[in-house]
Amino acid sequence: MTKNTLLSCLAAILCVAAGISVLPLRAGTPDEHSIIPRPASIHFTSGAFTHSDLSGRMRVDIVPDISHSGVPGSYILRITSDSVIVSAGDSSGAFYAMQTLRALRDPATGIVPCVEIEDAPRFQWRGFMQDVSRHFFSIEYLKRQIDAMARLKLNVLHLHLTDAAGWRVEIDRYPLLTSFAAWREGALWKDWWFGDRKYLPEGTSGAYGGYYTKEELRELVQYAAERYITIVPEIEMPSHSEEVLTAYPELSCTGEPYRHSDFCIGKEETFEFLENVLTEIMEIFPSQYIHIGGDEASKKAWAECPLCQARMKAEGLADVDELQSYMIRRIGSFLEAHGRTPVGWDEILQGGADSAAVVMAWRSVEEGERAASGGNRTVMTPGAYCYFDTYQDDPSTLPTAMGGYLPLSEVYSFEPVPSGLSPDEAAKIIGVQANLWCEYVPTEPHAELMIYPRLYALAEVAWSPASGRDYEDFRRRALALCAQMEAEGYNVFDLAREVGDRPAAQSPVEHLARGCKVIYNAPYNSTYAAGGDTALTDGLHGGWTYGDGRWQGFISRGRLDVTVDLGQVQDVRSVELDFMQVCGPEVFLPAEVVISASSDGNEFQELRRITREVVRDDRVTFVTGGWYTGGQSVSARYIRVQARSGSYGGWVFTDEIVVR
């Protein structure tokens, strides 16, 4: 086969893979392009490609030294009225050129404008993580998301295959993982999690779950590879392993089922199990990267386990953080000996991480900065920008989510490389990733609603140059892609009807207490300090989420107790404040609120006492409570507000004490 024939065949194959029609085209040029992610450079020329034999008039050249970014996937696309010429750094670059060509083609008219594009990805890791443990999704669903990822030039599908809610991958050596640990009592995660958390044998009436066979996964790996997407499997350790430790309780510290979430690090049997599982995982997934979890380990049992304590003494480990580090390093060395690279959540830095490991920074941008400055390759995936289990609009208009508020604009604003890193440290940031955790996402249509269009924004952050971002232009392009994907059967969020942030948060409020001193009789929690000591009188209401930097959180002794000093005695006619409830993260409305007033700060007159029964439900709830005179005033300098939690405990959040 000659070179020209080979490239012509490649062009035809790429056209099919990209979904590009070779139907007759009509002349014309769109005013603006709708390409997502935005190319590095794009210049429209006059005219349009009007020939029906697109693949016959296309030339694809592989030019290895074309890349300016050093990241695979670079290409140059030139479309004239008579030809389509692709110069790509490698075959992935040619594939991405086809995705761009697909986006250029007007779906209604078939027009492809004449254009010159030079493009290259910013980051090598452009990922999306799908949680299939909390709720099991079909292979067909995963293929649909792979198709969408390819369209967006994403190249890593991270599958969260194991967690307490269910083990989802066939392992021959340990059949109980799929005949027992893959099935549970309760189709909805929340019913199971807040219930008895029981597992059931496969085939039991009412058992919910499922798993992927090795054959299914190998076929999925191939399907993804054809679209230049690598599937990275995750096997959780040492924690989030309740399902394993109930099926095989001998791997826990006490050997009791339904008691532990952390593997026993003092037992050699633990490492035998993990290495055997990973060996079978590596036989299924050829990925260079294998994710080993590493997050949210309680480590409580280790402090009391004689075998763990003996391991710590034998290895000279100072604490349980170093014991986790021992496990991570040991498993990492096992993977490296098999030619693979370990990936873990940022907690693997606790106690010291292997410099060869890739760190996924999920808790904050600062954790990613710490990982990169310490020499670890880092994938930025902070919850504030990359967790798609949150609401993307007014919670009352959407299905139940974990909580929070992450609109499209916030995802688009994410800058993965902190400004404080040196050039060498910045080079350690190898990519970005969006994550869809599915505790509150039980169905495939719901999952797609959470993903799109937010994944469009993450794709542009991952691919396009940091300079030149324009949210309004991006939103225009996102609306166009939403319409296309909806027409193709995807369940896409209705961006055109987006409400935006909570109305109260959109403008400051003037009142008597604005800028006044607040005395904290009980402390706020430092994690949710908002504006610190001035947060409750800064004139700013909070938005849809307690994590937006405006809501202040109280959990100490389950109460809020503050006094506002108005500076002088004044006539006061009302005091009001907002509370919110999001049950998933244990944020509840207060069971009691007491509002009092004083002229001297010593003797307080109770103005109003509000009590309510706190009910756990799925809604995000906002309540404004307070005291109103109906026209009559009281003379006061000090306003005291007390609120206590109910039987569920948890957090109390408020945003502003408005005094009029």
Pairing mode, if any, of strands 403-405 and 390-391?
parallel
Position 355, amino acid:
S
Cα–Cα distances (Å) from 317 to 62, 194, 204, 271, 310, in that order, read 52, 36, 45, 18, 10
Measured N-to-C along each axis, helices 454-463 and 471-487 cross at an angle, to the nearest 10 degrees, of 120
* CA dihedral sign of residues 643, 646, 652, 655: negative
Q: Which two tokens stand for residue 660?
A: 């009029």
> Whose CA is closest to 131, among 167, 169, 160?
160
Beta-sheet pairing, 125-131 with 84-88: unpaired
Distance from C-alpha of 450 to C-alpha of 462, rounded to nearest angstrom? 19
Instruction: Given the residues 33, 135, 160, 240, select the one marked as catalytic.
Output: 240
The one catalytic residue in 172, 283, 296, 494 is 296
Return the biggest CA–CA distance within the chain.
Answer: 95
Strands 125-131 and 207-209: unpaired
User: Is-catalytic flag, 163?
Assistant: yes
Cα(194)–Cα(183) distance, rounded to whole angstroms?
16
Residue 265 near residue 326, CB atoms below 8 Å: yes
Closest CA relative to residue 504, chosen from 456, 548, 440, 447 = 548
Over the range 572-609, which residues count as b (16 or more CB within 10 Å of their CB) and which as e? bbbbbbbbbbbbbeebbbbbebbbbbbbeeeebeebee
Q: Find out whether the peptide bond into 418 is cis, omega within 30 degrees of 0.
A: no
Catalytic residue among 90, 147, 163, 538: 163
Residues designated as active site: 163, 240, 296
